[in-house]
Amino acid sequence: MRNIGVYTHIPFCLSKCNYCDFDSNVGSYEEKKEYIGALKKEIQLLNIKYGLEKYVADTIFIGGGTPTSLEEDLLFELLQTLQSSFTFSSHLEATIEMNPSSFSASKIDILKNSFINRVSIGLQSCIQDELALLGRNHDLKDFDTTFNYLRKNNFGNINVDLMMGLPNQSLEKFSKTLDTVLYYNPEHISTYMLIIEEGTPFYKWYENGKIIVDDKITLQIYEYTVKKLKESGYEQYEISNFAKKGKSCSHNIKYWTLEEYLGIGRSAASFIDGYRYKNADKEYVKIINSGKLPIVDKEKSVMQTLYEENIFLGLRMTQGIDIKKLNEKFDIDFMQKYSLKIEQLLKKDLIKIREGKLSLTLKGIEISNQIFLEFI
């Protein structure tokens, strides 16, 4: 049996945030119920295509959207469906995303009595005016209630999402947010840069000059975060992710190390048997109800694409690229092929080579996208 990660997309939220361009909407109870029914049909179709009995799910990730915005009966049905459809590894990591505003004791009780053993809370900020600007419908008190109830119910693996690079964000404000989160002592902290996406209210405000992002301050915040979290016992294992020992997110590591994963739901992506698949978004339920898999994009990962992905994703990880393994996998001499570029990047202190692995320095992480382009 082969290990596989399983991602399930729940595209519903209690409200749409001002920066969000993810596939998500509020949705009525009837829409959600129909969607859960479509997920069950998709799993049946996937079983016919792949024979799911050949796989062991060692990671599950239920994302969105806000999966816990589902009503209790639908949340229970979703979890029951996944449990009855897949063989779980004895070392299963099973994550669900949660917004503090979607908290209810009954929903956490459902999670507690299921296979879920990791919760990712989308806090983003502890500063009320930043939360208001983002369009988040929770406050710090909601986070406090959610986090403490999870702890009370023995959830020992909690991630907290934070955002940096917000309009008018200062180092003082972010340090207050980070200090507050560290007080709660979560096992994992993710710090994502705000990306202003076209079609969002943020994009419109940015184009009209109503909001300004200061890249210099954002860089100071990032450097502070790396230093502060290291001092607080967190290991940075990827550009945006920090974890206590043994608490890295195994599911996300699958993405970054090109292991197989199956995506279920609207707009979900899969990487299986050397192919990448992408599901439909708005037409998802309609296609499923016609008895077909909702695949709208299928691409064979040719060697050149795999090579570029190994470089790009390997450099996102702080452990970097294993040069010997890369050479063997693609029959190249990496150091010779990029000798001049590597020499230049080393001189600028943008990369480092330790124990046969090439990785980015903190200075390099700050301009990581430019460095990726040097190798692909």
The string of DSSP codes covering 302-313 is: -HHHHHHHHHHH
Looking at residue 91, its pLDDT comes to 97
Decide if 307 contacts 61 (C-beta within 8 A). Answer: no
The C-alpha atoms of residue 254 and residue 144 are separated, in whole angstroms, by: 31
Q: How confident is the model at residue 133 (pLDDT cuts 50, 70, 90)?
A: confident
Query: What are the start-end ranges of the H helices in the chain?
Result: 29-50, 72-85, 105-112, 128-134, 140-152, 171-184, 201-207, 215-231, 250-256, 284-289, 303-316, 323-330, 334-337, 339-347, 362-365, 368-375
Q: How confident is the model at residue 15 (pLDDT cuts 50, 70, 90)?
A: confident
Decide if 318 contacts 253 (C-beta within 8 A). Answer: no
Least confident of 203-207, 233-237, 266-270, 352-356: 203-207
* Domain 2-255 and domain 306-375 have a common topology: no
Cβ neighbour number for residue 321 with a 10 Å cutoff: 22
The C-alpha atoms of residue 4 and residue 247 are separated, in whole angstroms, by: 19
Q: What is the CA radius of gyration of the chain?
A: 21
Q: How confident is the model at residue 141 (pLDDT cuts 50, 70, 90)?
A: very high
Residue 239 has pLDDT above 90, yes or no: yes
Residue 149 burial (CB < 10 Å; 0-12/13-18/19+)? middle
Q: What is the mean pLDDT of residues 363-376?
A: 90
161 Cβ contact list (under 8 Å, min separation 6):
120, 121, 122, 123, 124, 190, 192
| CATH (residue range 306-375) | 1.10.10.920
Q: Any idea where the domains of the chain sit in the sequence?
A: 2-255, 306-375
pTM above 0.85, yes or no: yes
Strand 261-264 to 241-243 pairing: unpaired
Name residue 279's beta-bridge partners.
295
| pLDDT > 90 fraction of the chain, expressed in percent and rounded | 82
Both tokens of residue 223?
A: 């450097």
When the pLDDT of each residue in the chain is averaged and rounded to a whole number, the result is: 94
Looking at residue 82, its pLDDT comes to 98
Q: What is the mean pLDDT of residues 205-210?
A: 79
CATH class of 2-255: alpha beta
Name residue 269's beta-bridge partners.
278
Q: How confident is the model at residue 23 (pLDDT cuts 50, 70, 90)?
A: low
pLDDT, tens digit (0-9, with 9 covering 90-100), for 66-91: 999 999 999 999 999 999 999 999 99
Q: What is the mean pLDDT of residues 325-332?
A: 94
Residue 275 has pLDDT above 90, yes or no: yes
Strand 87-98 to 2-10 pairing: unpaired
